[in-house]
Amino acid sequence: MAQTDTTSTVPQRIGFTRKVSAYLSLTKPRVMELLLAVTIPTMFLAQNGIPNLGLVLVVLIGGAMSAGSAGAFNCYIDRDIDRLMKRTKGRPLVTGEVSDREALAFAWILAIVSTAWFAWFTNLLSTALSVGAILFYVVVYSLLLKRRTPQNIVWGGAAGGFPVLIGWAAVTGSLSWTPAVLFLIIFLWTPPHYWPLSWRYRDDYKTAGVPMLTVVRGRVTVGLQIVLYGWATVAATLLLIPVAGMGIAYTAVAASAGTWFLIECHRLYDRALRTVDPRPMRLFHLSNAYLTMIFLVIAIDPLLPF
């Protein structure tokens, strides 16, 4: 009698280290790192100097759990399309390293613990913003918009802006125009950052039926949108100068790095117009460096005497 191959249907027992790694993968560590990287400079600006390092650690831990919860919920919601996309086929819910039930329980635990953490160690406003960030990313973006509109990633940028609000509120106990501008920077930066990535994986999104702008619109339209959002992003970084009273260091970096960023946005658009390879990943990686530079100087500027 022929043997039946059950390796594809019966999950294999995995070791402790690999299991922990799988759970960590559910939190989307790269996204988490980016979110936490903008939170610390925001706290420096809110303090107008070096903030309480204990509070920084508290916000980083709570923020990691909050962002990790949102990421895990997203992996659970998107597990069907992740199976169809080459870029996501290695995620734990696709490989079976973590079951659907385990992932959902993990997401809820992180959400509850992060909320309790913020409530105990910070203040009510930071706690509410943390809960709001999870709800917005999970419900508004992942459940309602991602599969329904080509503007999905624009609204995803709103979810990405919550950490600066949380960091500011943790230091000051309130919000003002300065964190609103910081939120706006991340909101406007997200499309010209993520659309190049979705351009690179356009076939993946098309196969999965996700209406990314790069799937439902032509390359020229996408390139133009990237340029427009790029200009808006740079304008928002310059708006921070009068709103937050930024100094010479920030002004110089925001102007020079913004020019560099815009040149690359226009370069991608120009290549799209000439119907040659737009090399979208070049802008994707550069946009990470650009945002890092902006927020690094946001942290440094309050420490300088000019």
In a domain, 10, yes or no: no
Provide the greatest CA pair distance for the chain. Answer: 83
Helices 100-121/124-135 angle, 10° precision = 160
In this model, does residue 265 exceed pLDDT 60? Answer: yes
* pLDDT at position 12: 59
My answer on whether 184 and 292 are in the same domain is yes
What percentage of residues in the chain have a pLDDT greater than 70?
Answer: 96
* pLDDT at position 2: 36
From 173, 199, 229, the end of a domain falls on: 173
User: Do 246 and 301 touch, CB atoms closer than 8 A?
Assistant: yes
Can you give the pTM of this predicted structure? 0.92
From 158, 173, 188, the end of a domain falls on: 173
Query: Over the stretch 138-197, which tens digit does the pLDDT of each residue have?
Result: 999 999 999 999 989 998 889 999 999 999 999 999 999 999 999 999 999 999 999 999
Residue range 217-230: mean pLDDT, rounded: 94
User: Do 268 and 199 touch, CB atoms closer than 8 A?
Assistant: no
Residue range 222-251: mean pLDDT, rounded: 97
Task: Mention every residue, 6+ apart, whose C-beta is less than 8 A from residue 130.
Answer: 62, 63, 66, 114, 115, 118, 162, 166
Can you tell me the distance from the alpha carbon of 96 to that of 93, in angstroms, rounded to the nearest whole number?
5
* pLDDT at position 36: 83
In a domain, 6, yes or no: no
49-74 burial string, b = 16+ CB within 10 Å, else e?
A: eebeeebbebbebbbbbbbbbbbbbb
Neighbours of 234 (CB within 10 A): 24
* Parent domain of 224: 176-306
In this model, does residue 16 exceed pLDDT 90? Answer: no
* pLDDT at position 296: 96
Give the CATH number for residue 294: 1.20.120
In a domain, 56, yes or no: yes
Residue range 211-224: mean pLDDT, rounded: 92
305 vs 261: which has the higher pLDDT: 261
Give the CATH number for residue 33: 1.10.357.140
